């Protein structure tokens, strides 16, 4: 008698159904916009934000601008390992769509690219036990190393045969991957990257969607969702978290793109005059030759901030007397 097929435990709730519907609607809108008005610069921005955020979740300290410089081939000052992480991640994401998301061989190849010179076991499953800690507290003991090949084979087989919606399937894969912890290092970034691959195979708009930026902003909730699912031996909580993150990342991308496409020539001119400087509102007004402050805020400053083309130097205190503004470098 054959063994019962592997099926990760989770429940499709009303909240999950609603999130799937909302996300699918946003995917349709994004796909239509991509087909009618493709913008390579936005795809590049998404890739840079993806890499920066995914590595920041793993405690990489490099800034968004530094990540952009590394990808552009420029030299920066920073910890060598962190610079290597960026270079590896960029190469891995550039190769991402060449991989088969249901191939263990390709999974190992991708890990090799992602973790070269960062772990002695890059490109192969871990050989020893591993635990996940919160400080000194053990929060998850991964399955024994001897079981990893079989567990990963079961998980990949499930992604081939399960009739689950692609959004749900990708979230379950992400959670189960983190639970198995198949590698000595790089499990979190691999799980997030492979979920992107699963989703991009379904709908290409996900290939450069910086969902990692949303996860980074909600990092505590991300780990809470994993821990809660571990305690329940059921990935429903994690599915809810990830579907919400995917929906919100799509909504944010659509809003930013719409705002950028509506940017006026005068805002573009202001950004050019701003260059690489950090200036106060009064200094920017002086540089562009404008004296009417309400007009400056309504027609220049606020549109640039809304489009993500400019940022505050003190974002947590927007009304600070020391507030200055700078152009977002990766949009240059």
Can you tell me the distance from the alpha carbon of 62 to that of 42, in angstroms, rounded to the nearest whole number?
A: 21
pLDDT in tens, 270-279: 888 888 889 9
Percent of the chain residues topping a pLDDT of 90: 60
Sequence-separated (6 or more) residues with CB below 8 Å from residue 306: 259
CATH of domain 14-260: 1.10.3290.10
Average pLDDT, the chain: 88
Can you tell me the distance from the alpha carbon of 236 to that of 16, in angstroms, rounded to the nearest whole number?
A: 9
Higher-confidence residue of 268 and 18: namely 18
Is 70 exceeded by the pLDDT of residue 127? yes
Neighbours of 155 (CB within 10 A): 21
Q: How far is CA 30 from CA 21, 83, 140, 236, in A?
A: 14, 32, 37, 27
pLDDT in tens, 245-277: 999 999 888 776 665 666 777 888 888 888 888
**pLDDT category, 167, cuts 50, 70, 90?**
very high
- What is the structure's pLDDT at 46? 83
Residue whose pair of structure tokens reads 């992400």 in the numeric block: 174
- What is the structure's pLDDT at 3? 61
pLDDT in tens, 179-238: 999 999 999 999 999 999 999 999 999 988 889 989 998 999 999 999 999 999 999 999
- Average pLDDT, integer, range 111-136: 88
Can you tell me the distance from the alpha carbon of 311 to that of 331, in angstroms, rounded to the nearest whole number?
A: 12
Is 80 exceeded by the pLDDT of residue 35? no
Kindly list the domain boundaries of the chain, sorted by start residue: 14-260, 264-331
- What is the structure's pLDDT at 38? 54
Burial 156-178 (b: 16+ CB within 10 A, else e): bebbeebebbbbbbbbbbbbbbb
Q: In the structure encoding, which two tokens stand for residue 185, read together?
A: 């290092």
- What is the structure's pLDDT at 4? 66
CATH class in words for 264-331 = mainly alpha
Is 60 exceeded by the pLDDT of residue 332? no
- Average pLDDT, integer, range 286-313: 84
Percent of the chain residues topping a pLDDT of 70: 92
Q: How far is CA 329 from CA 65, 103, 326, in A?
A: 6, 37, 8
From the list 42, 27, 34, the residue with the least C-alpha distance to 208 is: 42
- What is the structure's pLDDT at 179? 94
- What is the structure's pLDDT at 141? 79
**pLDDT category, 39, cuts 50, 70, 90?**
low
- What is the structure's pLDDT at 92? 96
- What is the structure's pLDDT at 297? 84
Can you tell me the distance from the alpha carbon of 185 to that of 239, in angstroms, rounded to the nearest whole number?
A: 23
- What is the structure's pLDDT at 1? 38
- What is the structure's pLDDT at 272? 87
Residue whose pair of structure tokens reads 């008005």 in the numeric block: 37
Are 130 and 184 within 8 A, CB to CB?
yes
pTM of structure: 0.78
pLDDT in tens, 60-97: 999 988 999 999 899 998 999 999 999 999 999 999 99
- What is the structure's pLDDT at 251? 87
- CA geometry: angle at 328 spanning 324 and 332, to 5°? 135
Can you tell me the distance from the alpha carbon of 38 to that of 32, in angstroms, rounded to the nearest whole number?
A: 10
3-state secondary structure of 132: strand
Is 60 exceeded by the pLDDT of residue 331? no
């Amino acid at each position: 008698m054959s063994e019962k097929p592997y099926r990760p435990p989770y429940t499709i709730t009303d909240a999950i159904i609603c999130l799937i519907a909302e996300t699918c609607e946003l995917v349709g809108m994004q796909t239509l916009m991509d087909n009618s008005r493709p913008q390579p610069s936005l795809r590049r921005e998404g890739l840079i934000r993806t890499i920066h955020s995914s590595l920041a979740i793993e405690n990489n300290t490099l800034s968004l601008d530094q990540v952009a410089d590394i990808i552009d081939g420029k030299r920066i000052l920073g910890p060598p390992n962190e610079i290597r992480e960026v270079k590896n991640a960029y190469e891995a994401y550039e190769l991402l769509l060449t991989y088969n998301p249901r191939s263990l061989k390709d999974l190992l190849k991708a890990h090799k690219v992602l973790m070269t010179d960062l772990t002695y076991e890059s490109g192969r499953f871990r050989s020893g036990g591993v635990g996940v800690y919160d400080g000194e507290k053990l929060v998850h003991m991964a399955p024994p190393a001897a079981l990893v090949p079989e567990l990963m084979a079961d998980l990949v087989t499930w992604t081939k045969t399960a009739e689950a919606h692609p959004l749900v399937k990708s979230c379950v894969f992400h959670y189960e991957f983190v639970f198995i912890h198949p590698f000595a290092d790089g499990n979190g970034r691999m799980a997030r990257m492979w979920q992107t691959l699963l989703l991009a195979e379904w709908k290409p708009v996900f290939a450069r969607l910086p969902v990692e930026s949303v996860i980074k902003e909600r990092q505590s909730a991300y780990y809470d969702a994993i821990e809660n699912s571990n305690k329940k031996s059921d990935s429903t909580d994690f599915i809810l978290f990830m579907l919400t993150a995917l929906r919100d990342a799509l909504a944010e991308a659509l809003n930013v793109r719409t705002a950028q496409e509506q940017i006026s020539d005068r805002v573009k001119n202001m950004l050019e005059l701003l260059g690489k400087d950090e200036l106060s509102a009064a200094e920017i007004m002086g540089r562009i030759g404008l004296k009417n402050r309400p007009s400056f805020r309504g027609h220049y400053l606020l549109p640039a901030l809304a489009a993500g083309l400019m940022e505050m130097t003190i974002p947590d205190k927007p009304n600070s007397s020391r507030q200055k503004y700078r152009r977002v470098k990766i949009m240059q």
